[in-house]
Every structure is written in structure tokens, then in C-alpha cells.
Structure 1
């Protein structure tokens, strides 16, 4: 029976005394009870340990551990440490400031078990301020399969694979880990790498996770133009690109997308670094150079045309 499978929840934490208690309670309220929750502290200096202590005393499924010095400081290092400690058949990553739907583990384990797949993706929604605990407990939803033919949609975020919105079979991490020097887009890089190697999954159209939006989150810092987060995203793009080339998954559409994306990272010479990596002839590379340098003007003209169309037609 699928109910005998152990789920390893890995939660990296850093100075989250204000939010982590609510997150842990949502894990404690899971309808699927056969789990371990590894809380990996990244060296914070607030009262997170004191806030977590009651959970450790009351529930042996929760563990609070300091990140080993063998792993780099940061979210990827903490998660890799958790992966190496995990005893479960399945692995899922939860953040220390979010809320988990009570059926999260139950439905994911069920879907992976009965569909013979390696991961289960689900819908994630976001909230700001106080969370309203008004959960939908329905078990009726649509689903579809995901594999490497969907890599373009995944990379373009048309099919979002959020860090906390996927449960994985542990075998997905046998040869895959987070790149520890990445401080942004590390899950985008890793998850696309896993799927590109042939692991097949299922997506269920039900919201099972609620991400808290606030200025101190990694995403909030990225959109505040944090140099560290931006540099990490540029590096992640290069790693994803190299993986696509290696697995012969780089299509013209994907190349078009990455070159357009590189316009936002001129300070890292991202376009030039991408084109060097493409297995294209000199002539085809020259055509992409023309495309890149003419793109800002074309985008400007397209924007003006859309405004005129809306105004006069």
C-alpha cells in the first residue's frame, strides 16, 4: 500500500522566527502521517531554534539540524544536506514561511504510486499578509503527464515547476544535486536537468501549497534587483543551456527565448556566452547576432503597434 511510503520533507531555514511556526503547523496537520521533516538551519541568529523547540519535543517526526560545513551556506547547500540525510522514499522541499495544504503529501504519494511516475507536480498559489485557512478537500481534479518533451514549457514558465510544488521519488536525486553556489533559480536549473534526463511525472490541477510573498524572500530580492540574485540567475541560465545542448534538446524556439532573455542581463555578456555554447555554423551565429542587436527596436515597434491597435481599432 502507498500509505507505507515515507516522505522526507526538507525545510531550509534562516532567521524565520516570525513565520516558521505557522509553516510547521501546516505540516503537522497533514492527512498523510508517515513523514520526517528535516529542518536545516543555515546559521541564523534569531530565535528560530526556540520557536521550533516545541515541535521537536512533541513530535519525533521533526528534526532540527545545523547545516554541515561540508555544504556551502545558502538554500542549495541546506537542501543538498537534507537530501543526503533523507530516509524517505519520496522527497519534497517546503519553505520556512509558506503554508502547506493538509492533503499535500497524501495526494502526491497516491498519484506517484498509482501512475508509476517519478514525480508529482501540483498547483501553487501565493498570498500576502495573514493566511485564510479555507482549504478545498476535494479529491476530484484533472491531471496530465510531464516528461522531457515539455522542457520548453517548463523553461519558459508556461508550465511552472516551483521549488515547493513537486514531490520526487528519491531516485531522481541519485545523480542530481542543487548547484550550491547559485543563490537564485537553483531549483529551475536542477528540476529542468532532472526532467531532461528522462524522468516522467504527473501534474495534478489542484492547489496544494501557498507561498507567502514578502520583501525578504529570495524572489522579492531578485525583483528588487539584488546583484547576487541577478548574477545567480545569469549563471543558472548558462547551466540550463549547457544541459540542453548536452541532451540535444536545444530547439530554435528555446534558443530564441534565451537570446531574448539575455537582453535583461547585458552586464554579464550573457548573449555572447550563450552563442559560444551553441553547436551552430558561423553563418547561423551571425544571423542570431543580427537578431539580438535588432531585437530592442523590434520590441519597441511591436509595443507601439499594440498601443495603436488598442486605441484605433
Structure 2
């Protein structure tokens, strides 16, 4: 484990007001053999000057401007980082989050001990000022994730956030982020990688803390920003196509994607998953009719749910 190098890839864009705290949290890692590759997507808020101060004091931190060979956005920056990375392992950090000091040490240890392809750990979120009160206990539950857990990962029952997993670098040998996606790009990529049968280990311990604010990609999606919604729909269609090609679509995934179609008001998703699962014509008619009636029925379902809860 002492000789293993971890490449931390961080895309950044105008986050100087958060970045300093994030960099300091990375420097507090108990596992010290890492390189931090910061890919700047065109910041104009003093990010470069801030990072230069860190670089002068810590040679493990490296700064790059996004190359014109990659599209603007998070996927392009991360793909550039993957090209540069020298580590045995790869992990993606956001530029506004906080990491537990034991994250790399525990993840590398469990990944190597169990000879698996990736290590997942728990993540939680915070708003405003972060409270530095880490739990340093190493008494945690451990489980193995296989292709049998793919349904849970795709549906979010076992979340696999972009910053929630340490990968063997060779998992990305033939895979990259889709640079046309501006939301759910990690979900689409990770589903693509895991559908090949990669095996992981799961640490039941919170090791990453995501900052919630309105200007994050997730915050903009929650506010129904069109570019994020459209990207999610595209990622869903790509994922359906990938899972169908590997014969991995089943009843659980079929109904998950149908629900997403209703949630995102996208008949394209519903038609796509119905066709991909060879659904009969009568069932297709039922769902398409239901979609057309959904704006009328939705308030009724909502009120019915409130009454049942009462």
C-alpha cells in the first residue's frame, strides 16, 4: 500500500471561495501518496492565484487549464485528468466538498485487501459552514458489490455519487465521460463500467461530505434548469441502450426508467424503455395513455398519498 499512488482529479470553475477549504481537507489525508490534478475550466475569480500558493508549498498539487481538445464542462475536465493521471487508483473530488482524513487510507486498504476493482464508501451532505467533527473509528461493516447489485446502483438504492468511489485506474482504460452530458455524466459512465461485471467493496462509513448550494449542478437540476434536465434525459437513453446491449434490463429497471419518464415528463424515455424490453402493444398503450393523462391524475395521486399518510 505504501507504493500505491492515488490520482485525485478535480475539475474547477469559479469556486475560489470554496476551493481553499477543500484543498486543505485533502492535505489532511492520513494516506499521503497522492497527486491532485486540478483542471481549470476557465475560472476568472482568482482561482489560479489561490492554487499557485498551494503549489509552491506542496508539489503533489498540480494545475492545468482545460485543453481545447476537450469540451467545456465537468466531463471534459475529468477526461483530461484521466489522460494525465499517473496513479494506480483514480478518484474524483468536487471543488467545494470536504473529505474525511481517513478516506484514502481506508479505501486503498480495503481495495487492495479484497483485490477488487473499486471501493465505495458513504457520503453525506451539508449546508453552510462545515463542522469538523470526524468519526475516526475503523469499526465499520464491509460488503462486496457485484453485477447482482447493478440494479441497486442504477436506481440509486445504493448511491454511487461521482465523489463516492475509488477506482482502479484500468477501469477507465476504454471508458471516458461523455462530454456532451452536463448532468448525470458520472451515473451514465459508472453504469457503463459496472455493467461489465466489475467487483467492488463497500465501506459502511461516511468518508465524504458534499456541500449543498444552489449553484451546483445538482442544485441547478433541482431548480429545473433546462440544460441539466435535457442532459439527464440523454444519459438515461444512453444507459438504457447500454444495458439492453448486455441483456441486463429486467423488471426492476424497466419500471424505474418508466417512473423517470413520468418524473421528467419525457415520453421518449417511456417509449424507449418499452421498446427495449419488448413490451407488448397493450401494455405500451396503457403507459402512453397514462402519460397523456398524468397531468390530470397527478394531483389526485398526490392528495391520495397525503390522505393515506394522515
Structure 2 residue aligned with 1:241: 240
Structure 1-normalised TM-score? 0.93
Structure 2 residue aligned with 1:25: 24
Structure 1 residue aligned with 2:178: 179
Q: How much has 1:10 moved relative to structure 2?
A: 0.2
Q: How much has 1:292 moved relative to structure 2?
A: 4.6
The structure-2 alpha-carbon separation of the partners of 1:6 and 1:234, relative to structure 1 and needing over 3 Å to count, comes to same
Mapped partners of 1:48, 1:29: distance in 2:
21
Give yes or no for the alignment of 1:114 onto 2:113: yes
Q: How much has 1:268 moved relative to structure 2?
A: 6.7
Query: 226-235 vs 264-273, which deviates more?
Result: 264-273
Q: Deviations over 1:8-55 (max 9, x none)?
A: 000000001101011011111110000100000011111001111111
Q: How much has 1:273 moved relative to structure 2?
A: 3.7
Give the match's secondary structure for 2:17: coil
Query: 40-49 vs 271-280, which deviates more?
Result: 271-280
Q: How does 1:131-280 map to 2 (within 5 A)?
A: 131-266=130-265, 269-280=268-279
Structure 2 residue aligned with 1:126: 125
Q: Contact 2:254/2:274 (CA < 8 Å) preserved in 1?
A: no
Structure 2: stretches of 5+ with no match in the other structure: none
Structure 2 residue aligned with 1:44: 43
Mapped partners of 1:154, 1:274: distance in 2:
18
The structure-2 alpha-carbon separation of the partners of 1:181 and 1:244, relative to structure 1 and needing over 3 Å to count, comes to same
Structure 1 residue aligned with 2:14: 15
Mapped partners of 1:222, 1:301: distance in 2:
26
Q: Deviations over 1:153-175 (max 9, x none)?
A: 11221110011010000011011
The structure-2 alpha-carbon separation of the partners of 1:307 and 1:280, relative to structure 1 and needing over 3 Å to count, comes to closer
Structure 1: stretches of 5+ with no match in the other structure: none
Structure 2-normalised TM-score? 0.94
The structure-2 alpha-carbon separation of the partners of 1:260 and 1:142, relative to structure 1 and needing over 3 Å to count, comes to same
